């Protein structure tokens, strides 16, 4: 298994709706292995394939103290309630956290790494939040799109919450990220 580099805001692969997986085969299982490895290396609790540059509908979840698992072609089939998420982050938007409203309870359907259908139910916890975040990713949506106001996004200065300050609006952030990626000459 290989740790693959994370793609950042401004990379078009994060914005295109990912493609459905037709068959869960060894190539998909290798991808899942790499994704779990990459998620752990980056200390994330979830990762979607577009975040490592692969435009397929595959996500992995790695909630602390729980066995990591994958969902292929995940779909939210039911959601209810609302919950305010404080300080949500994303490996593809390093250095920022945002507060946003998500559903409190979700049921997500998808295939496991053997191609067998699974239904995951989660309510009021990190898994419920992470499932919504990762399903957003395969639809080309980032949490910064769901903020109500620019004040809901903070830039982290090191790891000190006391110095975290609201930043410019997300659209400007994306613009800035695109420009700096281009300026670096980095192909992401």
Whole-number Å distance between alpha carbons of 92 and 87: 15
Please say if 67 is a catalytic residue: no
Helix H or strand E encompassing 73:
strand 69-80
Residue with smaller CB distance to Zn ion, 90 or 111: 90
Nearer to Zn ion, 90 or 122 (CB): 90
Residue with smaller CB distance to Zn ion, 90 or 135? 90
Angstrom distance (rounded) from CA 186 to CA 188: 6
Within the chain, what is the greatest distance between any pair of CA atoms?
48
Would you count residue 49 as binding Zn ion (CB under 5 A)? no
Provide the minimum distance between the beta carbon of 133 and Zn ion in the complex, in angstroms, as a whole number.
6
Handedness of CA 73, 106, 128, 10 (dihedral sign): positive
Catalytic residue among 123, 134, 169, 177: 134
Instruction: Give the residue closest to Zn ion by C-beta.
Output: 90
Which C-beta is closer to Zn ion: that of 42 or that of 181?
42
Q: Does 90 bind Zn ion (CB under 5 A)?
A: yes
Using the rule CB under 5 A, is 130 a contact of Zn ion? no
For CA atoms 28, 34, 39, 45, give the dihedral sign.
positive
- For residue 51, the minimal CB distance to Zn ion (Å) is 6
25 contacts: CB under 8 Å, gap ≥ 6: none
Kindly state the smallest distance separating residue 102's Cβ from Zn ion, in Å.
13
Contact 99, 84 (CB under 8 A): yes
Footprint of Zn ion on this chain (CB under 5 A)? Answer: 90
Q: Which residues are catalytic?
A: 134
């Amino acid at each position: 298994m290989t740790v693959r580099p994370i793609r950042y805001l401004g990379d078009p692969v994060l914005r295109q709706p990912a493609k459905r997986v037709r068959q869960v085969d060894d190539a998909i299982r290798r991808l899942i292995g790499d994704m779990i490895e990459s998620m752990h290396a980056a200390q994330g609790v979830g990762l979607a394939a577009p975040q490592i540059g692969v435009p397929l509908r595959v996500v992995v979840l790695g909630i602390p103290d729980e066995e990591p698992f994958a969902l292929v072609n995940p779909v939210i089939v039911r959601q209810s309630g609302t919950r305010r998420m404080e300080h949500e982050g994303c490996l593809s938007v390093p250095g920022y956290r945002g507060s946003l409203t998500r559903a409190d309870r979700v049921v997500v359907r998808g295939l496991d790494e053997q191609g067998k259908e699974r239904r995951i139910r989660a309510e009021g916890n990190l898994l419920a939040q992470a499932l919504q975040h990762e399903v957003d990713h395969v639809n080309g949506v980032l949490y910064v799109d769901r903020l109500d106001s620019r004040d809901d996004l903070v830039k982290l200065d090191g790891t000190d919450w006391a110095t975290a300050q609201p930043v410019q609006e997300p659209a400007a952030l994306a613009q800035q990220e695109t420009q700096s990626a281009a300026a670096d000459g980095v192909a992401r």
